[in-house]
Amino acid sequence: MGEDCLMDANPIRLLALRDRALSLDEVYAAVGDPSAGGTAVFVGTVRDHDGGRSGVVSLEYSAHPTAEQELRRIAEKIAADHPVRALAAVHRTGTLGIGDIAVIAAVSCPHRGEAFQACRELIDTLKHEVPIWKRQVFEDGADEWVGACD
């Protein structure tokens, strides 16, 4: 799939894993479609706590070599199960600081309810099925690995 996947007839407009900052403008532009009445966008950011533990100072995301294939499989299923006009999903890898964007998922559909439902399914499935792991680093120097991306 490479860095990005842009196709005219296919509703899957942008899929990527990137080791640089993600662009909300790029993702929003990718899902623009004149036949869509609703666009839903989810932006996941790095927070300063997790699982009741405060003091997170950074995250490091790592992806399995099959992560892009899994992301594509999920995107294709969402596009087949919903009236998707356009879909995009990008996820960061590497080290991120507090407030950095870790993931953006966006879906355009004929109506807002459909867009909300498809976008929620996209991000939830991505989090649970795409093999991306995070290492959380805490202010006291401790760290821990988490089995799925947040």
Amino acid 91: pLDDT: 98
Amino acid 51: pLDDT: 81
**Residue pLDDT, tens place only, 112-124:** 999 999 999 999 9
The more confidently predicted of residues 96 and 3 is 96
User: Which of 4-18, 19-33, 131-145 bottoms out in mean pLDDT, i.e. has the lowest?
Assistant: 4-18
User: 130: closest CA among 81, 83, 80, 66?
Assistant: 66
Amino acid 149: pLDDT: 46
Strands (E), the chain: 12-18, 38-45, 49-50, 53-54, 56-63, 86-92, 94-97, 101-109, 132-138, 143-146
The predicted model scores a pTM of 0.91
User: 81: closest CA among 119, 112, 43, 44?
Assistant: 119
> Could you give the CA distance from residue 79 to residue 63 in angstroms, rounded to a whole number?
23
Domain spans in the chain, listed from the N-terminal domain onward: 12-146
Contacts of 30 (CB under 8 A, 6+ apart): 6, 13, 14, 86, 88, 106
Share of the chain above pLDDT 70, in %: 92
pLDDT at 71 over 90: yes
CATH class of domain segment(s) 12-146: alpha beta
